[in-house]
Structure 1
Amino acid sequence: MTENLRLPWADLPPATAREEETAEATRRAPGRRGRRPLSAWPQPAEPSPWQWWHLLVYGPDTGMDAFVAEAAGPGLIPWPFDAERVEEDMFALAIGANSPARGRAGLSIDGCRILARQFRAAAEARHARLGLRAEKACPLDFHQLVPVPERILQLGATHPDARAWLRDNWGLTEAPRQVRHLPGRKAGRRLPRDHRAMVYGFFTRMGTPAPVIRRMEEHYPTLTFRLSERSLA
């Protein structure tokens, strides 16, 4: 279905306010005055679908060693990739956008086919790049911690049953984005000897990863997990 079409570039969460300010300062020409500051622009009426999280994990070194080794992975859900379906969906989407009923006219049928082929090429290139990710590129891979069953993977990312499984078992319908270890962050308390802490940061869209955290707590009873939502500002 075209409404379930996923854009190859729609993977990154929005920049934080600090990142936006840095980018704005870089773009601004030297000596130019009078530009409205970023804070003066109207704010979106709807809240951002993205959430930024910190996950604090601490406990004895032996338990932490096991967790760090088992949690790392490529950071992807290995959905099957169908390039022909991608092209067909994009063609249908382009034709629908040019529908006279919508009062729009633009690309011809041949133009829509060309656009669909270009979109397919971009999707194939993206899929190939993702396939080159290192096996342990992501320090907190949800698929490693709570694997998606093969029968669910074969349904595809947009299938209602697949999305329902992810909501029930991950609290999300997509893998987290920009997962990274945040060095230098502390547990906020004095830990016993031979204990240590780690803090992970990641973005999610439209959901709360509480089910995954519960599974971690069950699987690693010697460790403590503290999930906190952080401001995007």
Structure 2
Amino acid sequence: MTENLRLPWAELPPATARDADAPVPGNRRAAGRRGRRPLSAWPKPAGPAPWQYWHLLVYGPDAVMDTFGAEMAGPGLIPWSFDAERVEEDMFALAIGHDGPARGRAGLSVEGCRILARQFRAAAEARHARLTLRTDGDCPLDFHQLVPVPAHILALGATHPDARAWLHRHWGIAEAPRQVTYLPGRKAGRRLPRGHRAVVYGFFTRGGEPMPVVRRAEEHYPPLTFRLSERSLG
């Protein structure tokens, strides 16, 4: 039921342990109120994979570098299909849980769970609308431009096991990289011939290594050299 559920705040970094145990905003019942199981007592899902920071060095002839830069720029996101009604249904099922029809997971009534699901749907719709406006080339290294996700995979949704398997196979990661930036002033680490230049991109990923995308770039732009290196976050 909840396999396609994606939280509107899924783009945020993992919460700290203190934040994870905080009461839900708007819930007037104290988390530790007598007679109620504290929200923090519910089993927590496994935490997200840690973030990894990468540098991708690209160098080669100026003309090919110009072509690469123009073709790789994009919005920097995966255009997943969006079903607002399904999001609301999944959130309601998640809120009502397995405690029976009288009360949901957080002690909410059935009507309270429905209100929560509608509010969640509105937040998800707002997030989706915000993302679809990003159609320009703000991201200088858009993985979807180089290795497009097929329409039948996009229709599955971001959290579907088959969609994640496709991304792991073709991208090496299961979501678009974050905070992709061009790092000016970085060098290739060697003297380049006249008419050649180097560019370095920095970006974050988690849950894998984006080597499949780098290999595709090597096949598509044979005059260019690509060097991917993991960088310390310290």
TM-score bracket for the superposition, by shorter chain length: 0.7 to 0.9
Question: Pairwise mapping of residues 9-28 of structure 1 onto structure 2 (< 5 A)?
Answer: 9-13=9-13
Q: 1:137 to 1:94 in 2, by over 3 A?
A: same
Partner residue in 1 for 2:39: none
Map of 1:5 onto structure 2: 5
CA gap 1:208/1:196 in 2 versus in 1, 3 angstroms: same
- 1:160 corresponds in structure 2 to 161
What are the equivalent positions in structure 2 for 1:66-215 lying under 5 Å apart? 66-96=67-97, 106-215=107-216
The answer (yes or no) to whether the contact 1:71–1:142 under 8 Å persists in 2 is: yes
Give identity over the alignment, percent: 81
Q: 1:97 to 1:130 in 2, by over 3 A?
A: farther
Which position in structure 1 is the counterpart of 2:225?
Answer: 224
TM-score (norm 2): 0.79
For residues 67 and 204 of structure 1, the distance between their equivalents in structure 2, rounded to whole angstroms, comes to 21
When residues 108 and 221 of structure 1 are mapped into structure 2, their CA distance, relative to the original with a 3 A threshold, is: same
What is the CA-CA distance between 1:199 and the residue it aligns to?
0.8
Q: Residues of 1 paired with 2:106 and 2:61: CA distance?
A: 64
| SS of aligned partner of 2:53 | strand
Q: Which segments of 5 or more consecutive residues in structure 1 lack a partner in the other structure? A: 16-45
Contact 1:56 1:225 in 2 (8 A): yes
Pair 1:130–1:104, CA change in 2 (3 A): closer
Alignment RMSD (CA, Å): 2.3
State the Cα deviation string for residues 78-129 of structure 1 (Å, max 9, x = none): 11100011111111111117669xx965211111111111111111111111
**What letter matches 1:167 in structure 2?**
H
Deviation at 1:161, TM superposition (A): 2.1
Q: Tell me the TM-score normalized by structure 1.
A: 0.80
Q: 1: distance between equivalents of 2:147 and 2:179?
A: 18
Equivalent residues of 2:3, 2:160 under 8 A apart? no
Count, aligned residues: 202
List runs of 5+ in structure 2 lacking aligned partners: 16-46
